[in-house]
Amino acid sequence: MAVLENIRKRTTVLILIIGLALFAFVISGVFTSSNFGGEKVGSSVAEINGEDISIDEFRQEVEVASNRVGPTASSMQVVNQVWENKVRKTILGEQFEDLGIGIEQDQIVDFLRTTGYAQNPQFQDQNGQFDANMFKQTVADWKVNNPAQYEAWLQTEDEIIQLAKEQTYFNLVRAGVGATLKEGELDYKLANEKMDIKYVRVPYAAIPDSTINVTKSEIADYVSKHKEEYKQDPARDLQYVYFQEKPSDADQAAIKEEITKLLDDTVEYNAQTDRNDTIKGFRNTTDVTAFLDRYSDTKFDTIYKAKKNLPSSVADTLMNLNVGQIYGPYKDGDTYKISKMIARKPNGSVKASHILLAYTGATRANPAVTRTKEEAETKAKELLREAKKSGVVFAELARDNSDGPSAPNGGDLGYFQRGVMVPKFNDFAFNNKEGAIGLVETDFGFHVIRIDDKEDVVQVATVVREIVASEETINTLYTSATKFEMETIDDESTFSTLAKKDEYVVRPVNKIKVLDENLPGLSNQRNIVQWAFNEDTEVGDVKRFNINNGYAVVQLTGSYAEGVMSVEDASVLVLPIIRKERKAAQIIAANQNKDMGAIAADNGVSISNASALTVKSPTIPGAGSEPVVVGTAYGMATGATSGLIQGNTGVFKIEIIKKTEAPKLDNYSVYANALKTGAASRVNTAVYNALKEGSEIEDKRATFY
């Protein structure tokens, strides 16, 4: 009672303390959110052309998609798939609304006729044809009697409506796509007018890169003039040391010792009987099943196996064991094993081929088979005599005559054990020698059988112990990872130096994006990516992460903001371009006003010939793809010589030796139609990509995932 009284006296204080604690809890939740910017109920996952996409709605769609694809895709793969669908639906939805594109029930039905849904037996009549009334009746029945199926259908219906609207929209765009006869004629000429040229080329490789000095300011100036080409998304560079959880040599030795002890009998004290019991080991046990249930990581596999189905490294040894003999312990992958021969069946597996002659009324006979039983028997006997002739290829007879599903494989049935085939077939296969050919009758028809091979099968009992890291090894690994994390400070060189001192391997990962999830060497590590992009994480920061099979100590080594690349980042891309331009300028300046012979002599190159060049295939033998050079040639007259041309691989000077005009056609509609068809086939992708590129999309996925 005294205790209760004290509690009553302090009720106000307790309420105040609890209130403050709850307040602190709520506040701490706001400020310590694991998300990058915190998350608010009802907030948006994206803004597309001013329209907010609710995170709640988005999550529902992700959940539905996850249930649909199952475990085959990672969580981020599903998120990204839903994202692309959402962006597409929103962008195209604006077009549908502007154009007044809608879909009525009859249009849905018409669209269904052209899709795989028309193959649903529930929507088909007795003739297997899609029936609109059956479809409507089935959906109505779902609504009343199967709500879950009906809800699933509503989601499917939304997808169908979207697809039908897209089809209508793209058909409207496609209707405006065309090509004139003049365009068809030009396309024909570009593909069929041939040019023979003589050329000299001074390759850019003739000037060493080391002689071209490019400054940072020149790279910066180039990037500034080509900003659109050197945009970058936010990215991060990491380096990490992986502390992999794996068994030590001592762990392996201990597991080998443990499994070895299972071979012999042991004595154990029985508290219930107050006496010592002798526990039979694997060598002497008479109940293999119970022994493996108690001491092995896998149960007793009673199936008889051929040599090829045993572990390849010990298959020969195991097959040579006598019944009751033991082999092991031996290492097989990540396990230690001891195997015991339990039983052997000589010639217990047969490989056979057959020719099946079915007849009307035989079990599973193809309806196309019209021969009678008597006719099938007569034909089978003819094939039996043929199969026994010297030099006849049984597989060819089977391919040409068998009614069985194995006919395309030459009648080959592979290996099988007793009891797999029907009794008469089974008896012939196991009661005759290899090479025997005979005829048997079963419910399926008449079989001409050839025994191709026989092999022994064995029943082997195996004690298996997985080689895993011990608790001591795991604790040591944790200690090592934690120590390394604590020793590192916010300095990149120190991280590498400390790793080198302890002989750890440092693995760099460059330019990861905010929505990446897979890191080389670590697989799916979304939590590391989120940490790297957290606004509180700075370059040089180090953190230890628990991952599958161990730990990763990670350091952030680089941060790239959205926008135009820095000079350092762009240099690897820009340097080759500027060098190429400088080399071209040098080559042109040194060879102005020279004829082809002088250019060849002064630059140590030769004059070459190229024939049958076309604009549609602008490849010059010995030089590669050179569209500018070939395009220049197309505009020149026969006998004309060009100036110096800056190509892809060098500077060219060309002379037109011969031009062969394409034969004139009476009509170029075929080529115009081909252009129209090609353009129409690109409408769906090209139009959507153009709309997407012109849209304002604010992606906030990284805040929530």
Give 235-246+469-561's CATH code, choosing from 3.10.50, 3.30.450, 3.40.50, 3.40.1340.
3.10.50
CA dist 489 and 444 (Å) reads: 78
Q: Are 117 and 160 in contact (CB under 8 A)?
A: yes
CATH architecture group of domain 194-232+567-660: Roll (3.10)
CA dist 238 and 531 (Å) reads: 11
DSSP code, position 631: H
Spatial neighbors of 554 by CB under 8 A, at least 6 apart, are 238, 239, 240, 528, 531, 532, 542, 543, 544, 545
pLDDT digits (tens, 9 = 90+) for 160-215: 888 888 888 999 998 889 899 999 999 999 999 999 999 999 999 999 999 999 99
- Kindly tell me if the per-residue pLDDT of 51 is higher than 70: yes
pLDDT digits (tens, 9 = 90+) for 523-563: 788 999 999 999 899 999 999 999 888 999 999 999 998 88
CATH code of the domain made up of 248-468: 3.10.50.40
Spatial neighbors of 686 by CB under 8 A, at least 6 apart, are none
pLDDT digits (tens, 9 = 90+) for 587-643: 999 999 999 999 999 999 999 999 999 999 999 998 999 999 999 999 999 999 999
pTM above 0.85, yes or no: no
Which pLDDT score, from 0 to 100, does residue 114 have?
74
Residues in the chain: 705
CA dist 360 and 468 (Å) reads: 61
DSSP code, position 604: T
pLDDT digits (tens, 9 = 90+) for 93-117: 899 889 888 877 777 777 777 777 7
pLDDT digits (tens, 9 = 90+) for 344-395: 999 999 999 999 999 999 998 988 899 999 999 999 999 999 999 999 999 9
DSSP code, position 271: T
CB neighbours (10 Å) of residue 122? Answer: 12
User: In the structure, what pLDDT confidence band is assigned to residue 254 with cuts at 50, 70 and 90?
Assistant: very high
pLDDT digits (tens, 9 = 90+) for 109-141: 777 777 777 777 888 877 778 888 888 888 888
CA neighbor of 478 nearest in space, from 565, 404, 387, 552:
552
CA dist 262 and 283 (Å) reads: 8
- What residues does each domain of the chain span? 101-176, 194-232+567-660, 235-246+469-561, 248-468
Distance between alpha carbon 350 and the CA centroid of its chain, in Å? 39
What is the percent of the chain where pLDDT is above 90? Answer: 64
CA dist 276 and 273 (Å) reads: 8
Per DSSP, the chain holds a count of helices (H) and strands (E) of 24, 24
CA distances from 393 to 267, 398, 428, 450, 644 (A): 64, 9, 21, 11, 68
- In sequence order, what DSSP letters do the residues of 469-535 get, joined into one string? --HHHHHHHHHHHHHHHHH--S-HHHHHHHHHHTTPPEEEEEEEETT--EETTTEE-HHHHHHHH-T
